Amino acid sequence: MFDWYLLLFIAFTLVILCIDKIGSHRSIYEFTNRKEVGLSGGTYSLVIPYMTGATFLFPFLFTVKSGISSFFIFLISPLFLYIILRSMISSQERIDEMLPDQMNYTERKNIIPFFLFGISSLGSILIQTTLMVMLFQDFFKQPASLGIFLFLIFSFVLFGLGGRSGVNRVGNLLLIGILFTISFTVLILYLRTGTGIVYQQITRNFDGLYHGSIIENILCFLTFIFVMAGQTFTSVYFWESVSVIRPNHRISALRYSSFSWTALLLSFTGLSIYLLSNADTLTATELMKSVIRSNNILSHIFVYTGIAMLAVGTGHSLYSLLSLFLHLRTASHNQQSSYHTLKQAYLFGIVLVVVIGFTCINLSEFFTEWLPYFISFFTSAAVPFFYALVKNNFSRSHFAMTVGMMSIAGVPLSILISEIWLVAPITATLTICVHIVGNKFK
């Protein structure tokens, strides 16, 4: 049985540590906290958007499906994303071109990108909160309502009321704990057991270290990179983080954050392979259930680390939604520092948390049915940014048209495509066609 008092104690301690930042803002400028940061602050702030449900969930799914091939997938993915992002943040003009905060929301052409960035953040919160619902219902056999609202209240207090400083401070604390715990846990497990014994066990239990064909592994890679790219490129918090890093530190911060993300992904993959070597199942769900129900130190580390990652992912997405709300309100009412507008954002956040909580509880049993839609959405959101690298020009109007059309088309696509690993490649192909046609008629 899990000691939930320990989990509540950790959450309460984090709140106390950041009590001076919670709700203390007197202006929108203080909430967004736009002062420049150096290399360390920039590195931490760029790693935080990588702490999403995809980073937590995909390593286990890929390792079960692809075996040790997942190591190569998670080595290439961060490098690929780093190369793309390096080009995007190469100059301040490039950042200003893509940063949603630079948009004038009173212009009609910028209204749709505003809502698309909002849908992206909302989708991330729904996915991560639903994973929490499933964790309580399917794994712990506990009522989901209490756990999920404690999780959302924790996220709102620290990341919503705390603003950007809350996201950075709490995110940094949890990030250091996650990286340290997972990396050293995997290292200790392999040193204690021995890599040779792990190899013998996994080859004895299964046919070999490699699963799936080359085509299947390529589809896994494409799914992961498109989802992560779509989530990252449409994160207000990410672009704000890039913009406040000192220009001479941006590339270095991106490099170190990519390295840290790679280490986290490989640690999760190494943990998954170790768990597979001691199991007799190739089902990701059954594998996680067996770990959680074992009720040993490894299960506690797995649970607490998973909850921390989901909290950070939910937190920066919640902050992005509140920031978009503030940008819209200040653009329409010309109130750049109104405390009254900031309180409206807090009220909006409370309503949002309640709605998301009830929605996720009701939709959790249909998770596999609506998840493909968001895979399709994040994929279509990533394509215009990839296209901008080739043409060296990012058009918000074409981004709005492309992703807007594909958001509608994503509904039948997610219904018609039965294999989840085909959703992203097919959506990407169709999105490229739509984007090229749109550019022809601009």
Task: Dump pLDDT digits (tens) for 54-89.
Answer: 888 888 888 877 777 788 888 899 999 998 888 888
- Please state which of the ranges 50-64, 93-107, 112-126, 340-354 shows the lowest mean pLDDT: 93-107
Beta bridge partners of 37: 245
Q: What confidence score (pLDDT) does residue 301 get?
A: 81
Task: Give the pLDDT confidence of 401-414 residue by residue, as tens digits.
Answer: 888 888 888 889 88
Note the pLDDT tens digit of each residue in 416-429: 888 888 999 999 99
Would you say 163 and 31 are in contact if contact means Cβ atoms under 8 Å apart? Answer: yes
Banded model confidence at residue 2, pLDDT cuts 50, 70, 90:
low
Question: What are the chain's domains?
Answer: 4-440 (1.10.4160.10)
Residue 251 makes CB contacts below 8 A (sequence gap 6+) with: 86, 89
Q: Mean pLDDT, the chain, as a whole number?
A: 83
What pLDDT, on a 0 to 100 scale, did the predictor assign at position 328? Answer: 81
**DSSP for 9-54?**
HHHHHHHHHTTTTTT---SHHHHHT---B-HHHHHHHHHGGG-SHH
H-helix or E-strand spanning residue 144: helix 144-155
Assess whether pLDDT exceeds 70 at residue 335.
no
Residues 6+ positions from 227 with CB-CB distance below 8 Å: 54, 58, 375, 378, 379, 424
- Buried residues in 344-362 as b, exposed as e (16+ CB within 10 A): ebeebbeebbeebbebbbe
Closest by CA to 160, choosing from 280, 310, 270, 316, is 316
pLDDT at 425: 92
Q: How many CB atoms are closer than 10 A to CB 115?
A: 16
Cα angle: 378, vertex 400, 417; to 5 degrees: 40
Give the separation between CA 305 and CA 184, rounded to whole angstroms.
13
Higher pLDDT, 261 or 102: 261
Residue with tokens 């001076």: 20
The CA-atom distances, in angstroms, between 117 and each of 120, 167, 321, 401 are 5, 19, 8, 13
Contact 327, 338 (CB under 8 A): no
Quote the crossing angle between the two packed helices 214-233 and 111-134, to the nearest 10°.
120
Most confident range, picked from 70-74, 88-92, 379-383: 379-383
Does the pLDDT at position 122 exceed 90?
Answer: yes
Lowest-pLDDT choice from 43-52, 270-279, 362-371 = 270-279
The confidence band for 294, taking pLDDT boundaries of 50, 70 and 90, is low
Q: Which of 243, 310, 307, 214 is nearest to 93 (CA)?
A: 243
Percent of the chain with pLDDT over 70: 87
- The residues that bridge with 67 in the sheet, in sequence order, are 210
What is residue 210's three-state secondary structure?
A: strand
Report residue 126's pLDDT band, with 50, 70 and 90 as the boundaries.
very high
Lowest mean pLDDT among 50-64, 95-109, 199-213, 393-407: 95-109
Looking at residue 182, what DSSP letter applies? H
Binned at pLDDT 50, 70 and 90, residue 252 comes out as very high
Provide the CA 286 distance to its chain's centre, in angstroms. 24
For residue 298, what is the enclosing H or E element?
helix 297-333
Q: 179, 184, 199, 115: which is closest to 400 by C-alpha?
A: 115
Which tokens hold the place of 85? Answer: 């992002």
Q: Give the DSSP per-residue string, 405-426.
A: HHHHHHHHHHHH--SHHHHHHH
pLDDT of residue 209: 65
- Cα–Cα distance for residue pair 423/416, rounded to 1 Å: 9
The residue assigned the tokens 């212009």 is 107
- Mean pLDDT, residues 365-384 taken together: 90
Residues in Cβ contact with 33 at an 8 Å cutoff, skipping those fewer than 6 apart: 163, 164, 165, 168
> Per-residue pLDDT for 236 more than 80?
yes
**What is the average per-residue pLDDT within 393-401?**
78
The tens digit of pLDDT for each residue in 205-231 reads: 666 666 667 888 888 889 999 999 999
Q: Provide the CB-side half-sphere exposure for 259 (13 A, CA).
A: 7
Q: What is the pTM of this model?
A: 0.89
Q: What CA–CA distance (Å, rounded) separates 124 from 48?
A: 14
